[in-house]
Amino acid sequence: MLQPLKRLLKGLFIIGGVVLGFLGFVVSTSLGLECFSRRDVAGKVTAARIRRVRPGMSVAQVVQILGRPYTMLSVKGSGTHTLNVRCNDQEGSYAAAVTDTLDIAAWMRRATADSVVHICDVGDARAHDRNSTLTYTRPVAWAGRYPMLWVHFDSSAHVSAVYAKVYKPYSLLDDDVIYSLSPPSEWNSKVDHLGSTFD
């Protein structure tokens, strides 16, 4: 009678040890990767330059401060949210990878024009806002942490918000918003933890 109980306790002890060992491995690996930070940042981006970008600036002013972005994206919206319009399995968007010869200001004029076709147009969505985003960073493969920076423009092609975030793909913790310059009514409207991330 005592022998089966001993075997059961021994089995539970072994299983508990394996589970605790695995959890310890996951936590220690996650914490170790947290320290392995890399970045892929475009243009002349530094913390001080990011802070110089203000709401209402034109795309030309932003490019003069931060340099050329990696990518640009314009999405149909209604002013407060994005319409997830899909046509031929593609989102209602207008995107471009930035090259040395691409005229960014001309692209922005085309992207925000009421006549632009964002892959497909449905109903009166064509007359709604065209919100555009310049992306100044790229995800970094195998990095424990990497920053992302976006400058958002309204349909008049002027800055509406600036966001920076540190992604931690292998962490059990949430990603960190390190900078947010947006209208006061929005969540995280005044966060500034750029610190050494962009310097």
Place of tokens 């949430």: 174
**Per-residue confidence (pLDDT) for residue 54, from 0 to 100:** 92
Q: What is the pLDDT of residues 152-183, one digit of tens each?
A: 998 888 999 999 998 887 776 677 888 888 76
User: What does each C-alpha distance from 98 to 28, 74, 118, 134, 142 come to in angstroms?
Assistant: 39, 13, 18, 10, 24
Residue 41 bridge partners (DSSP):
137
What type of residue sits at position 41?
A: V
Residue 49 has pLDDT above 50, yes or no: yes
121 pLDDT more than 50? no
Q: Do 83 and 128 form a contact (C-beta atoms < 8 A)? A: yes
Q: Which residues pair with 185 in a beta bridge?
A: none
Least confident window among 15-24, 46-55, 122-131, 158-167: 122-131
